[in-house]
A and B are shown apart, each in its own frame.
Chain A
C-alpha cells in the first residue's frame, strides 16, 4: 500500500490578465478565476495512476483560506482519496513548506509530490524546502516517475538533457510535463467529491522570512516594426545593425 501526499496550490487561471491594487502592493483578485495549479494536476494524475486498483491512497494538502475549497474539491473529483486544508494564507514558500512539513512528519507518506512550480509566484521552491525540513531527498523538476517496490526512478531535467535517478521512499518530487496526462474528472468523481473527507487543520507558528512589498507590470514594447515579406534581408540587416543581437 502506497501512501502519497500531493501538495496543491490555488492559482489564477492561465489566461488571467494580471493587475494590482493598493498602489501596486496587492494582486487584484476581482473577477479572477482560480484553478488548481496545472503542474499540481500532473502530480495528482500520476499519484492516482500509481495507486489504481486499491494499491494505495492519495491525500491532497493545501495551505490556504476557506476560499480555496472549490479547488480542493476539484482535486477530490479528479480522484484524491481525502484532503487536508491548513487554514492560513500562504505567506511565502517557506511558510507553506513549514506547514506541510508539520503535517506530514508523523504521517509516514512514501511519496510527497508537488508541481514543479506554482504559476503565480513561480518559486519552484516548496519541493526542495519540504525535503530539507523533513530531512529526506528531493528532486525539483522531474519529467518521469516510475515506482518499483519501495523506490522510484525519476528523470530530472538538466540543461540540454536529463538525469536518471533512483531514490528510495520517502522523498519529495516536483512534477513537470511528461510525468502524466491531465485527467478530467468524470460525473462519478464530481458526485463523490462532495462527501470525501476534507480536514481543516490550524497552522503552526512560523517565522516570516520574506514579504512581497510591491508589484510592477513590464513596460510595454513599442509598436512592432514590420518588414516587407519580399525583403527578409532587411530584417536580418536590422537585427544585425539596429538591434545588434548578432
Chain B
C-alpha cells in the first residue's frame, strides 16, 4: 500500500548515548537489518551525529529504541510540541522481538509495506535527454507529460506497468532508467557508445516491428487467449499460453500483465493519437521558443 506524499513514515532512532548500554556490533546490525527489511528508516545515533538525514518538517513520529535497562524506557517529549516520540527498551531482545516492540510502539502510524508494491517507474537522465518526446508518444498509460516549460517529465509514476521497461527501449538517447531493472544501461550503469548505437537503431520501434507495435502485440495476445479458451480445462492449454506469452515477453520485454491489460484496438488508436498530439504540441512550443 502506498502512503501519501506529504506524510513521512515513522523514523526509528537507535540510541546508545548516556543512560543506555551500547549494543555490540553484531546485535546492532541484526536490529537494523530487521527494521530496514520491514520498511523502517533508522538513524543510528552513535557519536551524537545527526547523520545524513536531519529531521525534516514533515516528520511527526519517532520511536527511540535503546538498552535503557530494567525494562523501563525514558519518556521523551518534543520541546517544540510538534512530534510524537515513543520510547522502547530493547534490553536483551532479539532482532525479531525488537521489530515487534517497534510495531507495537508505532500504534497505527502510517507505514509502507515492502513487497506489496515495487517502486517501478522511469527515471529520466536529463544530462542525456534531448526532449524529443518519443517516450511521451509511445506510452499508452499517461506516465509522461510536459511541465510548464514543455520539458518532458514523468508525471504519473503509479500508472507505469511493473517490470515493463519498453519506453526505455524507445528513447534514442538511452536517457530513461529503471533503477530496479536487472541490466545496464537501463538500471543506471554508465551508457557506452555501443549502447547508444544499439538504441539509436531502435528509434522507430513501430517500423522495426513492421507496423503498429500495440496492435501487433494485442493480436498475438488475443490469439494466445483464444487458444486458451478453447481448451479451458486442459493443463496443456495453460502451459501453451504461458509459453506463448513468455516468448512474447522475452522478445519484446513486455510483461504478461501489460499484454493482458492492453486496451481495445480503438482505445489504443485514440490514446496513441492523444499522446502524439501532446508530444507535437510540446515540440511545436519548443521550436517557437528557440
- Is this pair of chains taken from one and the same complex? no
Residues of B whose CB lies within 8 Å of any CB of A are none
Residues of A whose CB lies within 8 Å of any CB of B are none
